A = this chain, B = another copy of it.
Amino acid sequence: MTEHPFDTDTQVEPVAERTYAATLSDRWNALGGVPNGGYLLAVCLQALRRDLPFPDPMVASASYLRPAAIGPAEVHTEVVRAGRRVATGEARLVQGGKETVRVVATFGDLGAANGRTEIHGRPPDLPPPDDAVGLPDGGLPGVSITERLDYRAAALPGWAQGRPTGDAETAFWMRFRGGREADPLALAALVDAAAPAVLELGVHGSATMELTVHVRGRPAPGWLACRASTRYLIGGYHEEDFEIWDSEGRLVAQSRQFALLAG
């Protein structure tokens, strides 16, 4: 446990059997001034990690039911099944008696995943981080999560220059500010920590309904190479696919979300 905001702001305290107290911080706000969905997932996973006998989230699905609010929250957990190799639990994030997020997650030991490996994909093609362009210092006004992370890309995104490219496929470097390295639990949050790829279609935002993340490995220290894309916007609903590759060129997380355009 460090004093980094990601650790302090996702901390949970047991207050009753299978019940944890959390405080949702205003330091992880997404567009719209509400806590980011990946941040809420991380809070739920912190509670589940206490109840499950394995250290690493391997697959987690979060259903976003209502916008969460800054301030106190409870996480109610259930151990669904604990097996020899993996364990599955459910977490419900509740505020003011109303459930805002439901998570089902399976934890395991990524260090024990010693089966076959075969990769048919590559990390995104990016200039070295030091040669890449960063978002302006301080991030985007009102979107406090951008103050917690560094993002660098080959060029400023089209939407950030008022000229959306029309192609909802982006690639960039990402890491926590303040020197905290990513770990498997943080990866589950980071797949939702960048601007939605659909901003390049000239839309103003998007609300995540469901997010599933697969954590595929423990990341090496350093910058994370990310790729985000939306290929199918249909009737206002869209997927977003996200990949995170670590500094040694290994895929460490993959996610897909289902979202509805805002407005």
Query: B231, A217: Cβ atoms under 8 Å?
Result: no
**Given A102-B104, A232-B254, A61-B116 contact (CB < 8 Å):** no
**Copies held by the complex:** 2
Residue of B80, B120, B236 touching A115 (CB-CB under 8 A): B236
A90 at the B interface (CB under 8 A): yes
Query: B115, A99: Cβ atoms under 8 Å?
Result: no
Q: Please tell me which stretch of A9-17, A22-30, A206-214 contacts chain B, meaning at least 4 of its Cβ atoms lie within 8 angstroms of it.
A: A206-214
Q: How far apart are the CA atoms of A153 and B110 in the complex, in Å? A: 37
Query: A119, B80: Cβ atoms under 8 Å?
Result: no
Residue of B80, B88, B217, B258 touching A58 (CB-CB under 8 A): B258
Query: Which of chain B's residues have a CB closer than 8 A to the CB of A234?
Result: 113, 117, 119, 216-217, 250-251
Query: Which of chain B's residues have a CB closer than 8 A to the CB of A239?
Result: 214, 254
A59 at the B interface (CB under 8 A): yes
Query: Which of chain B's residues have a CB closer than 8 A to the CB of A80?
Result: 63, 65, 99, 102
Interface string of A215-251 (1 = CB under 8 A from B): 0110000000000001111111101000000000011
Q: List 27 A-B contacts (CB under 8 A).
A: A58-B258, A59-B209, A61-B61, A61-B104, A61-B212, A65-B80, A65-B88, A104-B104, A106-B209, A106-B210, A110-B235, A113-B236, A114-B235, A115-B236, A116-B233, A116-B235, A117-B234, A119-B233, A121-B231, A210-B212, A212-B212, A212-B256, A214-B239, A216-B234, A217-B234, A217-B235, A256-B256
**Which chain A residues have a beta carbon within 8 Å of chain B's beta carbons?**
58-59, 61, 63, 65-66, 80-81, 86, 88, 90, 99, 102, 104, 106, 110, 113-121, 167-169, 201, 203, 209-210, 212, 214, 216-217, 230-237, 239, 250-251, 254, 256, 258, 260-261
